[in-house]
Chain A
Amino acid sequence: MLKVEDLCYEYESGFKLKNINFEVKGGESIGIIGENGSGKTTLVKNLIGLLRPKSGKILLNGEDTSKMSVAEIARTIGFVFQNPDNQIFASTVKEEVSFGPQNLKMDNIEEIVEDVLKKTDLFKYKDSHPFKLSGGEKQRLALASILVMNPKILILDEPTSGLDLRNARKLIGIVKNLQREGRTLILISHDMKLVSDLCERIILMKSGEIIADGGIKEIFNDSNLLEKTRLDLPEIAKLSKILEFGIVFDPEELYRKWRASND
């Protein structure tokens, strides 16, 4: 679905992305993790065309994206920005969400907008002013205004930062529904619990390079890697590792393993 070949990028400040290679299959959920400043956001901006690679290729369904505009890429890859305040401009929630589909000249805008508002639990606010929404609701509005363009791949950059537990859970619930629909998810987060909750595969970045790419359990089991990148595992994974059950994220599974080992 999405293939990155030998991508390199360099900011004027000198920070570099070096030889990025990976492939994303339809329906996969990938977590991109790494320290602050390791280049996660930079990589993703290259994927959606806001930054253009210095060398290397990005293939989207086999087509080279270097000839596509950001708007064209946006039909397939939706990127939800960190800060919802940076995009709210309309005077009603409905109008705000309609912006993308209008730009892409989609059909039945009214219908899809209502549908997305229902999915993101914002329908009751459809005629309210977006600035009146709470932080959690604004975050969902940002998600809705991307989802409405029906992208096959959804990229979320720190979607739950600054949200309380209730709003974070609500958002995660929405994302899980999207996964069930078969959408591809790329999640950037420092919250390993969230990553383990949503993703099976991890791309680990450090200083502009991918230093590991694989199943989440394999990577969380690799003590060398953890040491090198100072990753903090979810508490339950730490416990299961100490108990020598490998990496387990589900409390019930851990309990079952523990029972089995006691018998």
Chain B
Amino acid sequence: MIRYTMFLRRRSILHSIDPRSKIILSLFLFTVCIFFNDPIYIGIIFFFLIISLKIFGKIEIKKTLSFLKPMLPFVVMIMLLWILLGSEKGNVIYQIWKLKIKDVNIEMAIAMGFRVLAMILSTFLLLMTTEQRDLVLALVKMKLPYEYGLTIAIALRYVPTLASLAVSITDAQKARGLELEKGNILEKIKKYVPILVPLIVKSIQLAQELAIAIETRAFGKPNRTFYRDLKFKFKDLVFLSAAVIFFVICLYLRIKRYGVLDI
């Protein structure tokens, strides 16, 4: 079944933290991944993230890995590109025909693999421990106009709905003999018409219904209040300070060029 959100309900510290702090932490972690290119440093960040999710977020390591799994082809592609097209420096350790595989490039490929995974994890950390409505509320409280917040919420909400709709439509057309795998590229593109047309028609119908639903709830009336509110508590302050200290330490290391390899 297609999941509606990435959110996993647990009773944990990470879940109880104010989403605004988590958004900031997420941005910090994301940036820190770009600071370093030493595989050891980035590797540490990656494992630190997985273990923190387990300890502070009560999210089983198996679960985290299952979320990362669909990203693997992407990661492998990036690593291959680094191995094949990386730096000119370094020692050749293996050569097939004209392709030279160099030690530095292997090192870089590992670093970049971890970097992409850690970047993905830093956003997952936010999405797995924060309910969508809290996320949107946090963005609005951070002065994002409510219209944009609502748009983001709707987009997040409808991605899985449309995905499962696309599956049903594809199933229906397959039962009418549609074979997506066959044919050359042009023919394949043409085969998506019977799937895209019903999908678009349905999406427009959904959008119209949604517009009416929003309209009937007095959307656009100024001075809206919120049913749920966010309170920035003492523990959020502690959490945010820890995140800032972590970021400053990493920034310092970066400026001193620790964890940065020259290639």
Q: State the A residues within 8 Å of B (CB).
A: 11-13, 45, 48, 50, 69-71, 74-75, 78-79, 81, 83, 85-89, 99-100, 103-104, 131, 145-146, 149
A and B contact pairs by CB, cutoff 8 A, 9 listed = A70-B175, A74-B174, A81-B172, A83-B172, A87-B169, A87-B172, A87-B173, A87-B176, A89-B198
CB-based contact B194/A99 at 8 Å: yes
Q: Say how far B169's CB is from chain A's closest CB, in angstroms.
A: 5
Which residue of the partner chain B has the closest CB to A97?
B176
Contact-residue bracket for chain B = 20 to 34
CB-based contact A145/B176 at 8 Å: yes
Note all chain A residues with C-beta closer than 8 A to B168: 81, 83, 86
Note all chain B residues with C-beta closer than 8 A to A145: 176
A48 partner, pick from B173, B175, B179, beta carbons under 8 A: B175
CB-based contact B193/A13 at 8 Å: no
Contact residues of B between 171 and 227, Cβ < 8 Å to A: 171-179, 193-198, 201-202
Complex CA–CA separation, A99 to B176 (angstroms): 7
Q: Say how far B170's CB is from chain A's closest CB, in angstroms.
A: 9
Complex CA–CA separation, A149 to B176 (angstroms): 8
CB-based contact B198/A103 at 8 Å: no
A85 partner, pick from B171, B178, B179, B202, beta carbons under 8 A: B202
Q: State the B residues within 8 Å of A (CB).
A: 1, 165, 168-169, 171-179, 193-198, 201-202
CB-based contact A81/B198 at 8 Å: no
Q: Say how far B168's CB is from chain A's closest CB, in angstroms.
A: 5
CB-based contact A146/B175 at 8 Å: yes
Complex CA–CA separation, A83 to B198 (angstroms): 11
Note all chain B residues with C-beta closer than 8 A to A13: 1
CB-based contact B175/A81 at 8 Å: yes
Q: Say how far A142's CB is from chain B's closest CB, in angstroms.
A: 8
Note all chain A residues with C-beta closer than 8 A to B173: 87, 99
Complex CA–CA separation, A100 to B176 (angstroms): 5
Q: Say how far B202's CB is from chain A's closest CB, in angstroms.
A: 7
CB-based contact B198/A87 at 8 Å: yes
Which residue of the partner chain A has the closest CB to B181?
A69
Complex CA–CA separation, A99 to B172 (angstroms): 12
Complex CA–CA separation, A11 to B198 (angstroms): 26
Which residue of the partner chain B has the closest CB to A101?
B177
Complex CA–CA separation, A13 to B165 (angstroms): 18
CB-based contact A81/B201 at 8 Å: no
Which residue of the partner chain A has the closest CB to B200?
A89
Complex CA–CA separation, A79 to B173 (angstroms): 10
Which residue of the partner chain B has the closest CB to A87?
B172
CB-based contact B175/A74 at 8 Å: yes
Which residue of the partner chain B has the closest CB to A45?
B171
Which residue of the partner chain A has the closest CB to B169?
A86
CB-based contact B172/A71 at 8 Å: no
Note all chain A residues with C-beta closer than 8 A to B197: 88-89
